[in-house]
Amino acid sequence: MSTSYLGNCHCGSFKFIVKLSNLDSVASCNCSLCYRNAYLWAHPASKDDFVVVQAGSLKEYRHGTNNHKFCPTCGTSILCCNASNGEIISVNVRALADVDPDSLSVKLTPCDVRHAPLNSADPPSQDGLHGNCHCKAISYTLHSTPERTKSCNCSICSRSGVIWAYPVKADVTVHAQESLVEYAFGQKIVHGFCGVCSVHVWEQFLTPAKAHTIGLNVRAIGDFDFAQVPTKVHNGRATMPQYQVR
């Protein structure tokens, strides 16, 4: 028996319905792109099991033999298609409404060596941790080592799968950001992601009390194993503005 799930990008410009037979277990790939975006994959049985309800434009990013499709406005990754014939391979469960990604059983599907593709983009860092989006159009160096990180279950963070560290801006050197797209959620935070490859790289704070800090998505830092430091789980659903799809 299959179940129909509603899904959408965060800004609501793209909406869909997908039929899936089992969400008890979803797949997680450790390739360089899937790792950065924390994709959780589910596989529709046929192309007829994915129906577009509202056809906002999606951008494509080629990785290997597949095209990854994401919303160019909010950066939500929606699905993965075969690059040669366009057939849907997987749907990102993080984009489904009323599904808690943290409650699902995740099965790792090995792909490539995780850290090799995460090596630094130019210029290489000699005095800190280097981070970059997948296509390397955005890159930076963090001149300190995070002592703790934070995961958040708010509607935007859960869709992008980010893990945050919060250094002061003075500890971060930005090398390139020409592909940066900014997306505001609420009145206090602006999320920045790559408009080419969809990877979320940082968040900026609009309130004076936090304006001197920056949130960095540590999944984009190749030499940092965030699993080795304490992670605070933040209930953003309870503290952020109530999320309603337009």
How far, in Å, are 91, 143, 232 from residue 169 at the CA level? 35, 10, 21
| pLDDT for residue 127 | 82
* Tokens linked to 183: 């997306």
All structural domains of the chain, each given as residue ranges with its CATH number in brackets, are: 3-109 (2.170.150.70), 116-239 (2.170.150.70)
Mean pLDDT to the nearest integer, 37-64? 94
**Does the structure show a pLDDT above 50 at 122?**
no
How far, in Å, are 43, 77, 134, 135 from residue 81 at the CA level? 11, 12, 18, 18
CB 104 within 8 A of CB 5: no
Mean pLDDT to the nearest integer, 122-143? 85
In degrees, to the nearest 5, what angle opens at C-alpha 87 toward C-alphas 84 and 88?
130
| pLDDT for residue 114 | 43
Ranges assigned E (strand) in 93-205: 105-109, 129-132, 138-142, 149-152, 164-165, 172-177, 180-185, 189-194, 200-205
Average pLDDT over the chain reads 90
CA distance linking residue 223 with residue 56, whole number of Å: 36
CA distance linking residue 180 with residue 170, whole number of Å: 20
Q: What are the tens digits of pLDDT across the range 183-230?
A: 998 778 999 999 999 999 999 999 999 999 999 999 999 888 888 999
Q: What are the tens digits of pLDDT across the range 138-189?
A: 999 999 999 999 999 999 999 999 999 999 999 999 999 999 999 998 778 9
Q: What are the tens digits of pLDDT across the range 78-110?
A: 999 999 999 999 999 999 998 999 899 999 887
| pLDDT for residue 23 | 87
pTM: 0.90
**For 135, phi and psi rounded to 5 degrees?**
-85, -5
The residue type found at 5 is Y
CA distance linking residue 27 with residue 91, whole number of Å: 10
